[in-house]
Every structure is written in C-alpha cells, then in structure tokens.
Amino acid sequence: MSWGLKLFMLIVFATIAYGKHGSKEHGSKEHGDRSKQESTYSIDAIADYIKKHEELKTTPYWDTKGITYVGVGFNMSRDGAKRDWKKVLPKVDFDLVKIGEQEIKENEALKLLKADLKNIYIPRAKRIFPKFHRFCPELQSAIVDALFHGDLAKNIQALIKSRKWKEAGEKYIDQRIYKEVVEGEFEGPNYERIINRMNQNKAIFERQECDTPTQCEKDEDCECCNNQPYCRKGMCSECEKDQHCTKKGKSKCEEGNGGNWVCGDPHVSVKLNDGSNTNFCFDVVGKTGEIFQFVKTRHLEIRARLFSPDETRAANWVDVIAIRIDRARITVDENGISDGRDTYAWGSESRVNFGFARMMIRGRFAEIFLGKIVTEIEIRRDHMQFGIYQHGGFGPRVYGILGDVVNQGTFKRDISGNHGNIMLFGGVYPVTEQVKLSSAGKCWFLKYGHLSPLIQKIRDNYIKDTLF
C-alpha cells in the first residue's frame, strides 16, 4: 500500500511510504516486463501523422511570407536546404525543382520529410523533452507535428513538462493562428487542415491524463498510459499480477476504485457516523508538494504533504506529517520525530511532553497522546504506519478531512442494493457496490474514482499553504 488512512470501529489507520522522488526503473527495449520497458519512436509513424494534415505537393509552393516549399513542408529557402537535399536526393536537381521546372516524386517527398524528422525535429523534441523516448507513440507524433509547424510555444512546452495535460491542450488552441481561422479571417481547405490538425493534437495532449479509467480490449490500447500499460478485465491498469508491483510499499495488484487494477489499496476508508454502519472508501489526490489538513480539533491539528514517487501519476503518497499540539509543532518523516529543537530518531527510547501531550518512542514505534486522541506511528523497512484514533469515536468537534467526512457524510443504498449515494458537503456522489474487502470490512467506492467531483471538493476545502 502506498499510503492510506483507514477509519473503522472508531479507529483511523494510515500507511505512509517514503522514498526518493522520481525513482526510475529501466529494462530491455525488446523483452521483459512492460512496466520496465522504455519506448522508442517510429519515424514512419510520425511522418504518417504529419502527412495526414499536410498536403503533399510534387511542385514548389509558397507561403504568405514568400518562403518556398515542396513535398510535405520541406523548406527550400532555409539555410543549408540545398546541402540537405543532396544528401537525400542526390540525383534530383534542387535548383530546377525550386524554380518549378522539375517535379519530384511522392516517395522522394516522403524521403525529404523523414530526413527532416530524423535530423531536425525529433532531435529538437528530445532536447526539449528528455523523456521523449518514453512518451507513447501518439504523443510523440503530436509533439513533433507541433514543432514541425512551429506552434508548440514555450509555455505549452512547460505545461507538457509539468504533465498538466488539460492546460496544455487548452493553451495549444489558444493561439493566434487557430483563433484567426476559427473566426473566419482565413478560409479554404488549407486552413481547415490547420483546425483539424490542432484539434487532434489538443485531444492527444488531453488524453494523457492517465489517472482517468480507460476501457480497452488489449494491451496495445493502453500504450499511451505509461503507468497503466496492461489491459485487465477491460480496463487499462497499472498491473496484471503482484509481480508487476515492484515499488516500495505497493506490492499487491488489486482492483481500484475506478475499475482498473492498481498496486495498492484504497487510500482512505472511513466509517460514517450516520448509523448506517457504512465504510466509505475514497482517495486524497493532489499534486506533489500540496498539503492537506486531515484532522483538526481545538488543541490538535494534523496535516500531511503529498508527493508522487512516479511523475506520471498524481500525488497520493505522504513524505511529511505535521502535528500541531497547542503551541508545539512536531514533524514526522523518515529521519524521526522533531519539535524544531530536538530530533528523536527512530530506534531510540524516549518519553517527551509537548504541551498537554505525551510522546513515547520505543524503537520503531511511537505514540502521541492528547486527551482521548492517540496518534500511533510505526517505522518499517520501507514505509511508516500512521494511525489516529479517539476513544469513543470522532465527535462533532473533530474537523479536517477525516472528521468532516465521518460526521457529515450520510449513505443511502438504492433499491437494487448494489449501488447508492454518499451525501456530503452539499452534494450527492454515486458509489458502487461493495467491491473490495479491506481491514475495515467491505467498502463502498466513489463510482467515478478520481474523476468524482468529491475529490476536487476535498482539494478545494482542505489544501493548506504550509505544514503549520
């Protein structure tokens, strides 16, 4: 399990895994586990993609600036054009073609295009995106196509590097050439191709949101989700079997809350205080560095900072826990527990008071007591177990994600008994049947997983600027 918070029978348990950010695994390009393979790229596939929206002409043509082209966008006016031409078509007279006295053949036009891709545009893409070789084929094609046509601006490049796919798609069509054609300032088949091409590139950028559950029939349907390369039971998934789960703290291949199969368990399980005896499962998902408030009372507040050990995935691991007890501020991480003055390393034997709270460390285990609320932490070889519980249950004066979901959430089963709704924060959120056994018992999952509006509402309501 990567990390999780599980509340059941008046108890909350959490698992927090830590490690170096952005850890990588490499493997053969030809054989072995697909999760460890590196992609390459196909010049033929990229050329076919570009040619689809670019008319192939065997005689020269000119753009609005007077630049001469031939074939599929080969620029005959650029510096070094004649030299490059001779390397590819040594028997075809460059000068005669440029003045329109000689045509080239279709296969010669494609040779020029592929040479430019190999020598100019793919190397440019690799310089901009060092992990270009690991992008899926359609994303590689869209990026090179945009570079080829000069409409992959630096701000869009930055969004792609940050994996902000939706924003990259929107910003991509928020460019002058696109707007001018849409508004009718230019007309004709050439400009229709511009719109079609840019719309397709936008769609490809936006499809890279790999946290979205995607249906499939075979593994090849999942090739554009680097972190979900397997087609299992009709859904693109992170794994097919336990052997695919090699990251620390994520050793089990299990059905996730979006119908796909993932390495790990549901991250949050809570038992609602509505009298329905319902265990409700959901994820707390954010971006690396975002801080969420999990518990808040008059004297106690617990926040956690998220990160992702894999930059292709949303952040739902925790690397730092911040506990405020009155004026005392305690941080917990892989190094130990610190109050800002002293650090109590794992493996020590310590008893310390933090205001009204008491802390005990015994080897790999720590407990922090504040009234009826107990925070338990256990350090293991590759992760921390973190739990909170309150004797008598979380009362109405416990807030934060856990307290508010427990105390405000209500559940209603539909007539079929296999589905229902969670009413919370003024909204109604569909949940699916009890699909997974956990230590909390059977659990109800959000029907749309990470796409549920509730996940965004949690982000909107509980993100904090600082750990304290």
Q: Which domains does the chain have, with CATH numbers?
A: 3-23+264-464 (no CATH), 37-207 (1.10.530.40)
Q: How far apart are CA 135 and CA 146, in angstroms?
A: 15
In terms of Cα–Cα distance, which of 220, 266, 219, 221 is closest to 239? 219
DSSP codes joined into one string, 25-65: ----SSSS-GGGPPP---HHHHHHHHHHTS--EEEEEE-TT
Return the SS3 of 222. helix
Answer yes or no: are the C-beta atoms of 235 and 214 closer than 8 Å: yes
Phi, psi of 27 (to 5 degrees): -155, -175
Q: How many CB atoms lie within 10 A of CB 87?
A: 9
DSSP 8-state assignment for residue 134: G
Answer yes or no: are the C-beta atoms of 317 and 448 closer than 8 Å: no
The amino acid at residue 402 is: L
pLDDT of residue 2: 35
The angle that helices 43-52 and 137-148 make with each other, rounded to 10 degrees, is: 60
pLDDT of residue 60: 95
What distances in angstroms separate CA 182 from CA 121, 149, 226, 389, one per listed residue? 27, 18, 34, 58
CA atoms within 13 A on the CB side of 223: 15
Answer yes or no: are the C-beta atoms of 54 and 146 closer than 8 Å: no
Q: What is the torsional sign of CA 463, 464, 467, 468?
A: negative
pLDDT of residue 264: 57
In terms of Cα–Cα distance, which of 258, 275, 274, 256 is closest to 266? 256
> Residues in the chain with pLDDT < 50?
1-39, 211, 248-249, 257, 265-266, 381-382, 435-440
| Alpha carbon distance, N-terminus to C-terminus of the chain | 27
pLDDT of residue 285: 83
Answer yes or no: are the C-beta atoms of 454 and 401 closer than 8 Å: no
pLDDT tens digits, one per residue of 78-135: 999 999 999 999 999 999 999 999 999 999 999 999 999 999 999 999 999 988 887 8
